[in-house]
Amino acid sequence: MTAVSFNHVSFRYEEESDWVLEDVNAEIEEGEWVSIIGPNGSGKSTLSRMCNGLLSPVEGEVFIEGKPVRPGEELALLRQKVGMVFQNPDHQFVAPTVKDDIAFGMENAGVPRNEMVERIEKAAMQTGIEKILDAEPHRLSGGQKQRVAIAGTLVLHPTLLILDEATSMLDPQGKREVMNILKDLHRRDRITILHVTHDLREAAIGTRIWLMRFGNIAIDLDSNTMLDQMNQFDTNDIPLPYEFHLLQELRRRHCKEEAGLVKRYIRDGIAL
Amino acid sequence: MFKHIIIGQYLPGNSFLHRMDARAKLIAVLLMIMVIFLADTWRGYGAVTVGTVGVWMISGVPLRYILKGMYPILILIVGTFLLHAFLTQEGEVIATVGAFSVYSGGIEQGLFIGLRLFFLVLVTSLLTLTTSPIDLTDGLEQMLQPLKRFGVPAHEVALMMSIAIRFIPTLFQEAEKIIKAQTARGAKFNSGSMKQRTQAMISLLVPLFIRAFKRAEDLALAMEARGYNGGEKRTKLRALTWRRKDTIACLIVAVSAVLLFFFQR
């Protein structure tokens, strides 16, 4: 089934101003992990915010699992299905303790109390935060806070998880923690992932990669093909990390075996 | 600098007061405040003293915490005492200082008002010392619930309070960062003339406010993304449980209040 479908989507913040998105057409299948990269202002975040109705297209339409995203009562239900984690770990922590924050979405949805407790336990296991459930936000690291944010979406049993540059303010350790959780969620719980990022290393872990430029998806590749066509990123001002260069060089010298190793290394995200 | 900040003055513990329902404590404190205002004889104040000191004893709060809370209002207590002592003209003249005469009634009145202030602060700090701010907001929200039909936004007020509580430490951490950043740019927070320090404060406050607004905007977006749509059909993770001992505690306070009213005549 199609998880997300963008149908001739255009968007601008005000009339007269420039288009942020211009006639975007794309589909994400269930179980995919799409990474969106691209320079600032290319429309990455705007596109991701169309998926849960935080923004509505000026023209065109967005469908989630076949249903159009429209303002109204159904948005609340949609937002349970589409979890979203934002960039700044400190700007999305609502409640005074971890447990209360994870519960926030469920409280909004009217989940009964005893079920909340169960779901919190499960989500805490999935994200490895069992030990900090009673902690206050200012005593947590950035990585821990983002894991709490992910747990806060998981308790609503989402089918699609959107990360809007959720790793960009984290240290390497925090990034690794978050990416490992995403891998688990994608593999084990079959959650579709849409990951907005600046980091090609992170993007290579998913199954598909979109490069956005000037409000449109300029390049749409599956991640294996992407490693064969890296030049496309280089020419589009996305600098290649070291191991990507290494892979290119190994291929140039026809070192097949070594190239295969490096490729696995990149795809598994060991470099993170 | 702000690393070990405690929000409010909550002192975690396991005394009877700590384990009481926040609503029961709120009701009891309201009753006690009424009693404190009703007392106006020495016998009345004696009873109030016995009562509040008794409550303090079961709270398990060390004396120094109480005294620390009293310190800021000490001036107020002394000030009101002096005002009453000098300006009330009842009873006999005890002493004359310059143009002022001190009457016995004035001394008595001053002592009463001073004691009244003292007990008010004691009772309310016992509430905040033994109740976590989250429980307090929850208790307030539920007690305001019946007023909803008169347009009191109970849920919104409670949410505002809990968000404020949650962000106090974050704002402190941010202030610390800004102070460092501005100090690196030559601002003087700890030295220099009064004028220089005031200017330094402005260089702290402006960025702090701008960041707070940005934060509020992001937070609103994040709340919306998590399906927040006001207080309608909301459930709560935190449940306050009203036990029998809460009823008993409130009743004891209420009965003592009535008794005191007759006893002090």
User: For residue range A5-38, what is the model confidence (pLDDT) as tens digits?
Assistant: 999 999 999 988 899 999 999 999 999 999 999 9
What residues have CB less than 8 Å from A43, skipping those under 6 apart? Answer: A11, A20, A21, A24, A212, A214, A215, A216
**Mean pLDDT, rounded, for B32-52:** 90
Q: What is the pLDDT of residue B4?
A: 46
| pLDDT on residue B103 | 85
Chain A residues with CB-CB distance to B228 below 8 A: 104, 108
Q: What is the pLDDT of residues B145-176, one digit of tens each?
A: 888 889 888 888 889 988 988 888 888 889 99
Residue B188 has pLDDT above 90, yes or no: no
What is d(CA B235, CA A188) in angstroms, rounded to the nearest whole number?
30
pLDDT for res B8: 59
| Predicted pLDDT at A250 | 93
Are B233 and A110 an interchain contact pair (Cβ–Cβ within 8 Å)?
Answer: yes
Task: Categorize the per-residue pLDDT at B72 as very low, low, confident or very high, splitting at 50, 70 and 90.
Answer: confident
If you search the block for the tokens 């619930």, which residue do you land on? B145
The CATH superfamily of A2-235 is: P-loop containing nucleotide triphosphate hydrolases (3.40.50.300)
* B108 contacts: CB under 8 Å, gap ≥ 6: B91
Residues 6+ apart with CB under 8 A from A234: A240
Residue of higher predicted confidence among A216 and B187:
A216
Per DSSP, the three-state class of B48 is helix
Give mean pLDDT, residues B238-259.
Answer: 91
Find the angle CA(A262)-CA(A264)-CA(A269) to the nearest 5 degrees: 100
Which residues from chain A sit within 8 angstroms of residue B226, using beta carbons? 79, 84, 94, 104-105, 108, 152-153, 156
Do the beta carbons of residue A85 and residue A162 sit within 8 Å? yes
Percentage, residues of chain B above pLDDT 70: 97
At B114, list the tokens.
């001073």
Select the residue from B5, B163, B226, B235 to test the A interface by mutation, using most A Cβ atoms within 10 A.
Answer: B226
The reply to whether residue A96 touches residue B234, judged by beta carbons under 8 angstroms, is no
A6 to chain B, any CB pair closer than 8 A? The answer is no
Name the burial class of residue B171, with classes exposed (0-12), middle (13-18) and buried (19+) by CB atoms within 10 angstroms of its CB. Answer: middle
Residues above pLDDT 70, as percent of chain A: 100
- Report the DSSP beta bridge partners of residue A213: A216
In sequence order, the 6+-apart residues with CB closer than 8 A to the CB of A93 are: A101, A137, A145, A148, A149, B166
**Identity of the residue in A88, A107, A153 whose CB atom sits nearest the CB atom of B237:** A107
Q: DSSP letter string over A10-76?
A: EE-SSTTSPPSEEEEEEEEETT-EEEEE--TTSSHHHHHHTTTTSS--SEEEEEETTEE--SSTHHH
Q: What is the mean pLDDT of chain B?
A: 87
pLDDT the model gives residue B1: 45
Domain ranges of chain B: 16-160+236-263
Interval B184-211 mean pLDDT: 88
Which residues of chain A, if any, have pLDDT below 50? none
For position A1, what pLDDT does the model report? 84
Distance CA(A104)–CA(B109), nearest Å, equals 52
Domain range list for chain A: 2-235, 241-271
